């Protein structure tokens, strides 16, 4: 839109701020890896209606080192067990 372009131009005139801002923006974006990890956690947490996916993400994170040496199903199973253990000690 024309109005948006006018504001953009005004902002671009402040060169030092603009460059910093673009660098900040690129760094702040969600990475592909982060997105994939979040999606996996959701698909694992989905059937557990009463539990938060955030807890799953912690367990998934803890189980990442095992991913390379087991099948995906085994990994999910291991993660589910970790999750159960974490849930039991949940404050």
Partner 1 sequence: MMLERGCTNDDAELFDRMFDQHRNVVFSFLFGRCGDRELAKDLLQETFLRVWRNIALASKVEDERRRFWITAIAKNVLIDDKRRRAVRPAAQSQAACQDIADERQPLDSKVESKDAFVQIDKGIRELPAELRTVLVLSAMEGLNSKEIGAMLGIPAGTVRYRLSEARNQLAERIGRI
Question: Which residues form the interface with partner 1 (CB under 8 A)?
Answer: 1, 3-4, 7, 10-11, 14, 16-17, 19-21, 23-25, 27-30, 34-35, 38-39, 41-47, 49, 52-54, 57, 76
Q: Is 60:82 a contact under the CB 8 Å cutoff?
A: no
Give the nearest distance from C-beta 22 to partner 1 in angstroms.
8
In the bound state with partner 1, the residue whose beta carbon lies nearer, of 31 and 68, is: 31
Angle at 36 between CA 34 and CA 39, to 5 degrees: 110
Cα distance between residue 12 and residue 19, in whole Å: 9
């Amino acid at each position: 839109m024309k109005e948006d372009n006018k504001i953009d131009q005004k902002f671009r005139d402040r060169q030092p701020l603009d460059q910093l801002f673009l660098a900040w923006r690129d760094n702040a974006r969600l990475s592909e890896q982060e997105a994939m990890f979040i999606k996996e956690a959701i698909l694992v947490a989905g059937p557990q209606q009463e539990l938060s996916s955030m807890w799953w993400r912690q367990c998934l994170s803890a189980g990442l080192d095992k991913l390379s040496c087991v099948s995906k199903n085994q990994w999910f199973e291991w993660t589910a067990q970790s999750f159960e253990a974490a849930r039991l000690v949940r404050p």
